[in-house]
Amino acid sequence: MTSTETTPLSARPATPAPDDGARAAAGDRRRWFALAIVMTAAFMDLVDVTIVNVAIPSIQRDAGASFSQIQWITAGYALAFAAGLITGGRLGDIHGRKRLFLIGIGGFTLASALCGFAANPEMLVASRILQGGMAAMMVPQVLSIVHATFPAHERGKVFGLFGAVVGLGAVMGPLLGALLTEWNLFGLEWRPIFLINLPVGIAGLILGSRFITESKAPRALKLDLVGVALVTLGLLMLLYPLTRGEELGWPAWGFVSMSGSIGVFSGLVAYEKKKAARDGSPLVELSLFKVKSFAAGIAVQTVFGVALGIFFLVWTLYMQIGLGWSPLRAGLTGVPFSIAVSVAAGMSVRKLVPRVGGRNVLQAGALVMAVGVLLYLWESERYGLGIASWQMALPLVVMGAGMGLIFAPLTDTILSEVPREHAGSASGLINTVQQMGNALGLGLVSVVFFGAMDDHLAPERVGAAFVDAFQGALGWVAGVMGLIFLLMFALPGRGAKAVKEAQPSGS
């Protein structure tokens, strides 16, 4: 392996010698190809999280899956994904982010094939758990590769693109799932929602091996196996009861497990401190939390995940069950939201952050999204069951714009002062707290949404009850956005002048 393959591109001289001009241009092209590859992988994961929900009725009918198995088709992926993210990020630091990315995308593609060709529900559940575990190897490397490949003054632009991809994936999943299910390609029913990953994954594997530059922590690190066990146990004790609580009727053992997870995480912190002092190779780099931008950003990311966990599930139930819309109509209704997220995310870092500062953009995003939620609440109350897709467009555009203003600057803010050798650990933590927030939000849905409905509703009352419950849930989402706005005051107040001074001339 040559030295140029092991040195991050951003660490090379900014001004190459004249005879190295062609090599520098080729390197520049390589890193943008690499960015396209890892962004595509991130998009594939985001779509896969949401695409299954739309196809659940088809899976239940065609595969004969029980209600419990249907729950595990979605929950198994989420649990394996969340439990493995921190470990996956650290493995990238130790063994190379490119290597772990290729292992992850290869395994994800194989697991997708197993899902698509599953002979029974048990095989589908097992394949989904494997898919979530492979995603946990792949996804943390995306931000790590960006962090290691692009210099600081270019990362804002890159994270703007990342935010646009996140917004697009959030809504494209249900729409793509609806289209593939309704088309019933080759009589395969629900199976194409998994098989569509095969050509994308194979292409990512081939192109990634060629264009992604390898990077890892500059000093030798060892995998902290005790830390892996503790973080996995703690996350499972917290997330499993949240994921299955509604289905199981919120048993007492679930609350005991969630309470016990606090003790496990406390033990993890104590052990990681000793581990860092002993050999400098902890799984969770606790020194990251001494960085104000990282610690405050992680708190914001967690609470933001709660808002998203509540909204997206409630929104889907409201349209498809409450209003009786088809999956395709519900998916198409979300297109304005997706476009607004993508456009706002692209603008936020490139144009707004340099002018007014990152924290101001983030707080503006929280307020804009809260306004969109309240506007949606007002329209839902005004039009009730007679609301049309076009009437939802305005609040969805406002909400999407607010979300786009948060996504890209928040990721950039969290990673802005993180040392490169801990990029994988930091990326794993970002994705983990997002998943924890989502799981908490999904758990709260049973309280803020289902808790507002009678279990024995007459059929003619179901629609109106879903509308009322949706309105109550939107009130919770607006309140969470207000909390996020306040938490953002803990972020470093980097003014527009400082942002401009940090950028190189001519950029």
User: Is the pLDDT assigned to residue 103 strictly greater than 90?
Assistant: yes
Q: Looking at residue 501, what is its pLDDT? A: 43
User: Is the pLDDT assigned to residue 173 strictly greater than 70?
Assistant: yes
User: Is the pLDDT assigned to residue 334 strictly greater than 80?
Assistant: yes
Contact 202, 109 (CB under 8 A): yes
Provide, rounded to the nearest whole percent, the portion of the chain with pLDDT above 70: 84
- Averaged pLDDT for residues 167-186: 77
**Reported confidence tier of residue 9, pLDDT bands at 50, 70, 90:** very low
Q: Looking at residue 370, what is its pLDDT? A: 96
User: Is the pLDDT assigned to residue 10 strictly greater than 70?
Assistant: no
- Averaged pLDDT for residues 343-357: 82
**Reported confidence tier of residue 3, pLDDT bands at 50, 70, 90:** very low
Q: Looking at residue 64, what is its pLDDT? A: 77
Total length of the chain: 507
The phi and psi torsions of 123 (rounded to 5 degrees) equal -65, -35
- Averaged pLDDT for residues 176-205: 86
Of the two residues 189 and 360, the one the predictor is more confident about is 360
Structure tokens at 55: 């196809």
Of the two residues 39 and 2, the one the predictor is more confident about is 39
Q: What is the pLDDT of residues 302-315, one digit of tens each?
A: 899 888 878 887 88
Q: What is the pLDDT of residues 216-234, one digit of tens each?
A: 877 657 788 898 899 889 8
Contact 105, 157 (CB under 8 A): no
Contact 417, 502 (CB under 8 A): no
- Averaged pLDDT for residues 188-205: 90
The amino acid at residue 150 is: F
Q: Looking at residue 459, what is its pLDDT? A: 64
Provide, rounded to the nearest whole percent, the portion of the chain with pLDDT above 90: 26
CA-nearest of 431, 471, 368, 373 to 162 is 431
Of the two residues 81 and 123, the one the predictor is more confident about is 123
Domains by residue range for the chain, with CATH? 26-223+283-502 (1.20.1250.20), 227-282 (no CATH)
Q: Is the dihedral of CA 147, 148, 150, 151 positive or negative?
A: positive
Beta strands in 121-198 (DSSP E): none
What are the respective helix, strand and coil percentages of the chain, to the nearest 5? 85, 0, 15
CA distance 469 to 445: 10
The most confident of 174-183, 328-337, 444-453, by mean pLDDT = 328-337
Q: Looking at residue 110, what is its pLDDT? A: 96
**Reported confidence tier of residue 158, pLDDT bands at 50, 70, 90:** confident
Q: What is the mean pLDDT of the chain?
A: 80
Whether pTM > 0.85 for this model: the answer is no
**Reported confidence tier of residue 397, pLDDT bands at 50, 70, 90:** very high
CA distance 168 to 340: 9
CA distance 67 to 76: 14
Q: Is 454 left (phi over 0), alpha (psi -120 to 50) or beta?
A: beta
Q: Looking at residue 167, what is its pLDDT? A: 66
CA distance 292 to 476: 28
**Reported confidence tier of residue 171, pLDDT bands at 50, 70, 90:** low
CA-nearest of 386, 390, 396, 393 to 323 is 386
Q: Looking at residue 1, what is its pLDDT? A: 37
Neighbours of 354 (CB within 10 A): 19
CA distance 61 to 211: 43
CA-nearest of 45, 427, 87 to 236 is 87
Of the two residues 383 and 346, the one the predictor is more confident about is 383
Q: Looking at residue 217, what is its pLDDT? A: 72
Of the two residues 14 and 443, the one the predictor is more confident about is 443
Q: Looking at residue 67, what is its pLDDT? A: 64
**Reported confidence tier of residue 170, pLDDT bands at 50, 70, 90:** low
User: Is the pLDDT assigned to residue 107 strictly greater than 80?
Assistant: yes
Flag the least confident range among 195-199, 255-259, 285-289, 490-494.
490-494
- Show Cβ contacts of residue 366 under 8 Å, excluding neighbours closer than 6 positions: 402, 406, 481, 482, 484, 485, 488
- Averaged pLDDT for residues 379-404: 92
Of the two residues 128 and 157, the one the predictor is more confident about is 128
User: Is the pLDDT assigned to residue 91 strictly greater than 70?
Assistant: yes
Of the two residues 331 and 206, the one the predictor is more confident about is 206
